[in-house]
């Protein structure tokens, strides 16, 4: 065989092929309380929330790890606002880059999710790529 197990096809998958889109993207408003964030992160089962400003711009990200670390420091985390816990300026990638490149970025930055945009509008998140989506598709 020329391509063992079709590995070449896996390596040519793009972020757009594997990203989560639409209502599955876990968005939350920056001014919501963390009690709301906890409900959404639990229901969406991705371990991540994308934070939007009043104007609808993506301004941050919250991971389940951040929530755990914050709750150890602050027992009243439910009463904090999302913007007090989030990491500002989440790392984003174009939907047309290879998934293998996105995986490399995640490994280098030691993160599990990337916001995804379209070249035409870098400020609009159109999807989210989780490391599990990449690994489930045998991208290395």
Domain ranges of the chain: 13-136
pLDDT exceeds cutoff 90 at 91: yes
CATH code of the domain occupying 13-136: 3.10.580.10
8-22 mean pLDDT = 84
pLDDT tens per residue, range 48-58: 999 999 888 89
Q: State both tokens at 79.
A: 């009463």
92-94/27-29 β-pairing = unpaired
Which of 64-78, 97-111, 117-131 shows the lowest per-residue confidence on average (mean pLDDT)? 64-78
Sheet holding 113-118, edge to edge: 92-94, 113-118, 121-130
Q: State both tokens at 12.
A: 């040519």
11-35 mean pLDDT = 92
Task: For residue 33, give the DSSP letter.
Answer: B
């Amino acid at each position: 065989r020329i391509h063992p197990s079709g590995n070449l096809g896996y390596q040519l998958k793009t972020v757009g092929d594997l990203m989560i889109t639409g209502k599955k993207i876990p968005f939350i408003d920056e001014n919501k309380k963390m009690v709301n964030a906890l409900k959404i992160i639990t229901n969406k089962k991705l371990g991540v929330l994308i934070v939007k400003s009043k104007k609808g711009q993506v301004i941050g990200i919250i991971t389940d790890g951040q929530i755990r670390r914050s709750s150890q420091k602050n027992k009243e985390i439910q009463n904090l606002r999302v913007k007090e816990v989030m990491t500002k300026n989440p790392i984003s990638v174009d939907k047309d880059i290879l998934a293998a490149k996105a995986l490399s970025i995640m490994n280098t930055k030691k993160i599990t999710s990337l916001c995804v945009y379209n070249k035409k509008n870098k400020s609009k998140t159109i999807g989210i790529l989780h490391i599990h989506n990449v690994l489930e598709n045998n991208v290395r």
